Amino acid sequence: MVIHIPLPVIERSTLGLLVQSTIYWVELLRGEHTCIDEIHETYDRIKASLRDTHGGEGNETLKTVRMQGAEITHRIENLLDESEYYIERHNWMGRLRCILKYLYNVTHTCSLCSIAREINKIQKAAAPIQDLLCRFAHTGLGTVQTGRLENRHMAPVLNEFDFVGMNKSRQDLLQLLLDEEKGLKVIAVTGMAGAGKTTLARHVYEKQQVKKHFNCRAWVQLEDSFTTKQMLLSLVTELHAESKKLLPEGISIMETDQLAGVTMRYLEENRRRYVIVLDGASEKNLQKNQLEFVLNYALPKDNNGVRVVITTRSLQIVKQLLPQNHIIDVAALSYTESCILFRKRAFGRITDPPPHEVDIYFDRINDLCGGLPLAISVLGGLLRREFHKYDKIITEFERSRTLGDATEILRASINDIDDENEKSCLLYFCSFPRSYAVTANNLIRLWCAEGFAQTEEEAKRYLSNLVERNIIQAAEGDYYEHARERIKSYKVHDLMHGVLKTKAEESNFSTSSMSHQPRTYKRVRRLSVPDTSEMIPSKINLSQLRALFIFRNDTLCLPSIFSTIRSLRVLSLENVPIGNFPKEILKSSHLRYLNLQNTKVIEIPTSIGNLRNLETLNLKGTFVEKLPKEILNLKNLRHLLAYRYDTLRYIHDPRRPDKVFGVKAPEGIGQLNKLHTLSVVVTDNDGDIIKDLANLHQLRRLGIMDLSEKDGKSLVVAIKQMDNISSVSLTLKENELLDLKKLQLDQGTPQRLQRLYLRGGLKGGLPDWFSSLSNLVRLRLSGSQLPHESIDILKNLPSLVDLSLIRAFNVKKLLCQGGFPCLKVLDIDQFDNLVEVEIRESMSQLTKMIIRSCPHLERMPLGIEKLLNVNELHLFEMPREFVNKLRIFGEDGEKVQHIESKWLYNDGIQKEQVESAYTDTQESGGYETASEGNSGTNEDFNDEIIEIQE
């Protein structure tokens, strides 16, 4: 008798389960269940649904569903990263794939099972979420909510804030800083968020009058979480950075009283007249007596006219600490002032006749913004020229009625960004500390590493869009102002930073808090550990982490952090005091961006080749001298940055630049044919490195050292292959000469070259083809020893804006006749034999002149009185006879009367001699002598390498 067992019974039996498992395992070996095509489709559908429901964040249900949808996309991204390795292995197997695939899958069954299970889980979880998102999209709940604006053109970013209604506050602050009161004076700038406190303080801080008056300055950005120790550490760091001096050894482990002593001794040295700005003091800072401790125990109170400025929202607490006449309260703008500022932001000029809509709606606009300049500026950008939508947009804002602190307007400007990748680029700013300036190139590299932009050109477009929206700001003090106004770095307003940080936390984009519950860390996508002593938990699950930023943390334990990370793409350990390369990251095969700048790393391990997806490797300021040959395995590398300074100054010439050290690259560096930046590499004796450069067709920035004359031809051949090269720094070996006239570049000059730095002797002068560098905007010639006729080559450079000549000519008279049509900055340095300079009908656009260490120069350049655009004159280490002629009754005093800012520097004279000789403005004709590091002009010596790399 045959017994028939129903199929469901078989499926539930042990044998049935075994059969099913066997079938599943065989299918897995055949590559089934791990096909990522379907999961790609799911990813695309959910991303589309998120875009369709973009802007509906006022609906809490939709907000929750969108967060769940974003979480699904994050899981898919991690899954795709994990499966990428297996896809590459399958492609590598080639003709033997049919056989090897099974063998490979057998040995990796556990990993494949894990991927298959995750795919199944994601598909099940994604279906209902996508269905809900589609329903919201069809009902229209996901569109045109508060802050959802369409088809607008934002106001362009302005380099300087429009000080509408703030003139009195500005004058009051300036007077308090510069008055004759000799003791320590503490000044407070108060006002509500968005009122312009920081902008006002920074504007006055950067004025030439203030820079002249104080020979020591520091701007310290405070945080709510700061302890007194952290406040002092930031102050010491800023003071030394301003004067370009090394921090004392062991500074990071000093106690509070030790740091106070270091600060006191530094400021007492030479009786420095200092101004210190403590920006963003919170109630916590004030109530914990932190400021009182700093003022009493870290700052000298000599009768030297020293000043401390505090910006804070806490007016009531400040009133208890300071005299009333030392408090500047930045009030909200009046109705008329608000209208003027709004017109500037919305129409560009207040003289433009406003449309009828402005008169109708401005009462509502003013009521929304509450007289806050930040709110008015951002809303003016949102409404720019969109006259027909005023009622709709303003009505949307009025629903919320929470715009008094400008937060809602800032949130709206974020929600108004349609492109999710562009929005992610903006949210990335909250990965950095408040008021942190990030270079444009660094932003572009990070966005590409994260996948927000597929190309650097696309990333540049996102950056441009954010600038045009008036959301991000050019970082003050970082303008490359003389070369087509190229802005080097950006930041966001402090209030915007707070909004971005909140939004990033809500959407699980990133976090900077270490106070999460351990179980929530596994969802963290990007983690930023601030510059504090906050401990990082020793056992946390960071399995979803894609980016990690650590800022000078002394409590770091790398092995514990990296034990659970699988999908890391970005790692920045800048200024973290580690001495060895963190080998734990070598398992992070998805890593695209690695920043070890200013760490104490000495050697790069050979296993660096495991990071096959790496695009940016930053070794600036490390002690790495040689790169291993395994670095040639990094076929996707785009930016290789490596150099350090020998910080010991030359004893007999304290102004001489610090010596720069590059790294030795392995033979075959040309295999890295995706490189855009290579700096600074040291040449080898047989010239193989130079020959390798010819294969780097995509190179844009090149820095190379220890060149010899025999390298010239190979170098020319290489540069001719670099169609996109824009910055080049070449340094010759000592006593080597380079003959540019023998280098046939007549038909192959790099037309995109914008910045060129040549250190070393140039045999025979400059060739005629040199003037065909039509896009060259910045040129530095150091130690060239050129004949006088080479000046006629330089004057024909049509786009040259910034010219530095350091021991460049061996002449007694330098005659500039005609030419130099665009030149704005001229720097003449260490011309030992120079007696006279004459400028005839030349340099009509010149705005800044620098003359350094020309011991035999008898007078100011003849013809300078005709250069009416010159507004800055900097003179370093010039003879007393030369200086005496510049005084009011001197021979050259009248010639330079039109120059607004005139600075004298003489680091070799004792402080009291400097004061008696130069600082009396009545005696010296309005001149001031700057102490070491006061102007920042000395940095011109060393910025060429930074310019190349950044």
Per-residue pLDDT reduced to its tens digit, 338-367: 888 887 777 765 445 555 556 677 788 887
Give the residue with greater pLDDT, 610 vs 75: 610
Q: How much is the pLDDT for 729?
A: 92
CATH of domain 335-415: 1.10.8
182-231 pLDDT per residue, tens: 888 999 998 877 788 888 998 899 888 898 899 899 999 887 778 888 88
- pLDDT of residue 948 exceeding 70: no
Q: How much is the pLDDT for 848?
A: 94
- pLDDT of residue 437 exceeding 60: yes
- pLDDT of residue 160 exceeding 50: no
Are the C-beta atoms of 470 and 156 separated by less than 8 Å? yes
CATH architecture of 777-950: Alpha-Beta Horseshoe (3.80)
Q: How much is the pLDDT for 918?
A: 37
Q: Average the pLDDT over each of 151-155, 348-352, 490-494 and give the range with the smallest value.
A: 151-155
Give me the mean pLDDT over the 794-811 stretch. 94
Give the residue with greater pLDDT, 754 vs 147: 754
Q: How much is the pLDDT for 4?
A: 36
Are the C-beta atoms of 43 and 123 separated by less than 8 Å? no
**φ, ψ of residue 617 in degrees (nearest 5):** -125, 110
Q: Average the pLDDT over each of 311-320, 721-730, 765-774 and give the range with the smallest value.
A: 311-320
Give the residue with greater pLDDT, 680 vs 153: 680
User: What are the residue ranges spanned by the domains of the chain?
Assistant: 31-139, 167-329, 335-415, 420-506, 777-950
Diameter of the chain by CA atoms? 130
Q: How much is the pLDDT for 352?
A: 52
- pLDDT of residue 693 exceeding 80: yes
Give the residue with greater pLDDT, 222 vs 458: 458
Give the residue with greater pLDDT, 886 vs 629: 629
Q: Average the pLDDT over each of 14-18, 566-570, 630-634 and give the range with the smallest value.
A: 14-18
Q: How much is the pLDDT for 44?
A: 78
415-428 pLDDT per residue, tens: 778 788 999 999 99
- DSSP letter (8 states) at residue 196: S
Length of the chain, in residues: 950
| Residues above pLDDT 70, as percent of the chain | 73
Q: How much is the pLDDT for 823?
A: 95
Give me the mean pLDDT over the 304-317 stretch. 85
Q: How much is the pLDDT for 209?
A: 86
Q: How much is the pLDDT for 3?
A: 34
Q: How much is the pLDDT for 838?
A: 96
Q: How much is the pLDDT for 188?
A: 92
Q: Average the pLDDT over each of 159-168, 202-211, 745-754 and give the range with the smallest value.
A: 159-168
Q: Which helix (H) or strand (E) holds 802?
A: strand 802-806
Q: How much is the pLDDT for 565?
A: 75
- pLDDT of residue 944 exceeding 60: no
317-337 pLDDT per residue, tens: 777 777 877 899 888 888 888
Give me the mean pLDDT over the 264-285 stretch. 85
- pLDDT of residue 150 exceeding 50: no
- pLDDT of residue 861 exceeding 90: yes
Give me the mean pLDDT over the 99-127 stretch. 60
Query: Encoding tokens for residue 369?
Result: 């913004």
Q: How much is the pLDDT for 943?
A: 45
Torsion sign (Cα): 647, 650, 654, 656: negative
* Residues in Cβ contact with 610 at an 8 Å cutoff, skipping those fewer than 6 apart: 586, 587, 589, 633
Are the C-beta atoms of 565 and 263 separated by less than 8 Å? no
Most confident listed range (82-91, 217-226, 647-656): 217-226
Q: How much is the pLDDT for 855?
A: 93
CB < 8 Å & 24+ apart, contacts of 668-672: 668/629, 668/632, 668/692, 669/632, 669/693, 669/696, 670/694, 670/695, 670/696, 671/632, 671/635, 671/695, 672/631, 672/632, 672/634, 672/635, 672/637, 672/640, 672/696
Q: Which residue has the tokens 């190139």?
A: 441
Q: How much is the pLDDT for 577?
A: 83
- pLDDT of residue 22 exceeding 50: no
Give me the mean pLDDT over the 929-939 stretch. 40
Q: Average the pLDDT over each of 5-9, 284-288, 578-582, 749-753 and give the range with the smallest value.
A: 5-9
* Residues in Cβ contact with 706 at an 8 Å cutoff, skipping those fewer than 6 apart: 662, 682, 683, 731, 732, 733
Paired residues of 814 in beta bridges: 837
Q: What is the SS3 assignment for 305?
A: coil
Give the residue with greater pLDDT, 246 vs 520: 246
Task: Transcribe 573-641 into DSSP letters.
Answer: -TT----S--GGGGG-TT--EEE-TTS------GGGGG-TT--EEE-TTS---B--GGGGG-TT--EEE
Paired residues of 660 in beta bridges: 645
| Residues above pLDDT 90, as percent of the chain | 31
- pLDDT of residue 649 exceeding 50: no
Amino acid at residue number 297: Y
- pLDDT of residue 29 exceeding 60: no
The Cα 605–Cα 581 span in angstroms is 7
Burial 714-751 (b: 16+ CB within 10 A, else e): bbbbbbbbbeebbbbbbbbeeebbbebeebebeeebbe
pLDDT band at residue 596 under the 50/70/90 scheme: very high
Class of the 420-506 domain?
mainly alpha
Q: How much is the pLDDT for 885?
A: 86
- pLDDT of residue 806 exceeding 70: yes
Burial 57-86 (b: 16+ CB within 10 A, else e): bbeeebeebbebbbbbbbbbbbbbbbbeeb
Residue 909 CB-density burial (10 A; 0-12 exposed, 13-18 middle, 19+ buried) = middle
Q: Which of 51, 924, 198 is nearest to 496 (CA)?
A: 198
The Cα 501–Cα 110 span in angstroms is 39
Q: How much is the pLDDT for 59?
A: 65
- pLDDT of residue 736 exceeding 80: yes
**φ, ψ of residue 2 in degrees (nearest 5):** -95, 130
Q: How much is the pLDDT for 359?
A: 66
CATH architecture of 167-329: 3-Layer(aba) Sandwich (3.40)
Q: How much is the pLDDT for 612?
A: 92
Give whole-number Cα distances, 26 to 21, 111, 154, 458, 627, in Å: 9, 15, 58, 44, 46
